[in-house]
Amino acid sequence: MIIFPAIDIIGGQCVRLVKGDYATAQKVAEDPLETAKQFEAAGAEWIHMVDLDGAKAGYPVNTEIYRNIAQNTHLKVEVGGGIRTLDTIRAYLELGIERVILGSAALKDPQLVADAVQQFGAEKIVVGIDAKNEMVAAEGWLETSGVHYIDLAKEMIRIGVTTFIFTDISKDGTLSGVNAEQLRKLAEATEGQCNIVASGGVHTIDDIVICRDLGLYGTIAGKSLYQGTIDLKEAIAAADTLKIRPMTIDDYDALYAIWTACGNGLNNLDDSREGIEKYLRRNPTTSFVAEDGGVIAGAVLCGHDGRRGYIQHMSVSPLYRRRGIGRRLLDAALAALKAEGINKTALVAFRKNALGNAFWESMGFGLREDLNYRDLALTEMVRFDPEY
């Protein structure tokens, strides 16, 4: 489970509200960028940010702050507040924002959400569902609708949304504990269909454990971090349910389902159960799966010929992306190769897959010459570790 430290902005200042009431705004930190860097130093990979001025105005107000953090830290930034158009979404993504949060737009303009998912991809769009007495609120929580929060989630899933942030407004900023019952109901009603992030009321590590045990994707912590009732490092450690373990042939059905969901190119011989079983017999220690609560979330199939390592498949289930799972799988595979004296590892990648290739490059792989394999624009990516 991911811990999302939160920074809310009013007038360029880091603030927290109580129950969404702007009159309760209290400054909690001096500088947004320095605060974000402190979160990063504590081990955070993501940061949750809300433009409270934008939420009230209906358009972005504090954009420069979010750009500054996205471009001057390694944090993945998600931003909400005042995002009402595709142009605004595009502008944020072009600034380096990892994903945007649509709140009021989900309630009032579901077509915008559908268009955003289609144009930018579900991994870039989050729907924020904020509720008072289980009914969805909008416009910076200044208006309450007659739409039940679970009904809105189901409608958004139908149009392609895969990630939600659920906030019980009565809990937000109160340090009174998460609304476990409403979170449980949402998780059960949407099981296997989406990622859920809990927001509102987080007070102690017990709240982190509750959300973790509910199988949630993430938990947002705001006031608890600023007031010191939660230590961010401890929260990240408590939230980590992911286990990286060696792959076995018993994992095959789950692996095949992930490969299919990811659109991997498969062939009947090498990627059959028999083919993978032979592969694992040849290389029994260098392939791994990521398991979260008994569910296989991703896998790396990796082997070597005694001179060079090679990666045949590396996939993360669509519902488990943006959690750093691919990085942890690859770290495990490369460490296993190094233990066997292999210091060069390669894979073949589509040149047109800019997002995937950016990941490999971030892990130290470099592009090599064009292979022209089967008339496809492929290229070899090689990582060399001279210290081994």
Tens-digit pLDDT profile for residues 189-247: 998 899 999 998 899 999 999 999 998 999 999 989 999 999 999 999 999 888 999 99
pLDDT of residue 293: 73
What pLDDT does residue 127 have? Answer: 96
SS3 121: coil
Helix, strand and coil content of the chain, in percent to the nearest 5, comes to 40, 30, 30
- Percentage, residues of the chain above pLDDT 70: 91
**pLDDT of 379 higher than 80:** no
Retrieve residue 66's tokens.
Answer: 């979010």
Residues of the chain with CATH 3.20.20.70: 2-239
Extended beta strands in 184-331, E state: 195-199, 218-221, 242-246, 288-292, 295-304, 309-316
**Alpha carbons 266 and 275: distance in angstroms, whole number:** 11
What average pLDDT does the segment 75-100 reach?
94
Spatial CB neighbours of 274, under 8 Å, sequence gap ≥ 6: none
- Average pLDDT over the chain reads 87
Cα 143 to Cα 132: distance, rounded to the nearest angstrom? 10
Q: What would the two tokens of residue 280 be? A: 């694992």
Of residues 48 and 17, which shows the higher confidence score?
A: 48
Q: Where in the chain is the domain with CATH 3.40.630.30?
A: 242-384
Residues with catalytic annotation? Answer: 8, 130
Higher pLDDT, 226 or 104: 226
User: What CATH superfamily is the domain 2-239?
Assistant: Aldolase class I (3.20.20.70)
pLDDT for 357: 77
Each residue's pLDDT tens digit, 307-331: 889 998 889 988 787 778 999 999 9
Cα(97)–Cα(89) distance, rounded to whole angstroms?
A: 9
Asked whether residue 371 carries a pLDDT value surpassing 70, the answer given is no
For residue 101, give both structure tokens. 């949060």
In Å, what is the CA distance from 296 to each residue of 26, 97, 252, 289?
A: 42, 28, 10, 7
| Bridge partners (DSSP) listed for residue 127 | 102, 164
pLDDT at position 298 over 90: yes
DSSP 161-180: --EEEEEETTTTTS-S---H
DSSP β-bridge partners for residue 346: 310, 382
Q: Looking at residue 328, what is its pLDDT?
A: 92
Assess whether pLDDT exceeds 50 at residue 388. Answer: no
- pLDDT at residue 252, rounded to an integer: 94
Q: Is domain 242-384 in CATH 3.40.630.30, yes or no?
A: yes
Residue 126 pairs in a beta bridge with: 101
Whether residue 51 has pLDDT greater than 60 = yes
**Exposed, middle or buried by CB within 10 Å (0-12, 13-18, 19+), for 375?**
exposed
Predicted TM-score (pTM) of this structure: 0.73
Average pLDDT score over residue span 275-303: 92
User: What pLDDT score was predicted for residue 144?
Assistant: 67
Quote the strand ranges of the chain, DSSP E.
2-10, 13-18, 21-29, 46-51, 76-80, 99-102, 125-132, 135-138, 143-148, 163-168, 195-199, 218-221, 242-246, 288-292, 295-304, 309-316, 344-350, 366-370, 378-384
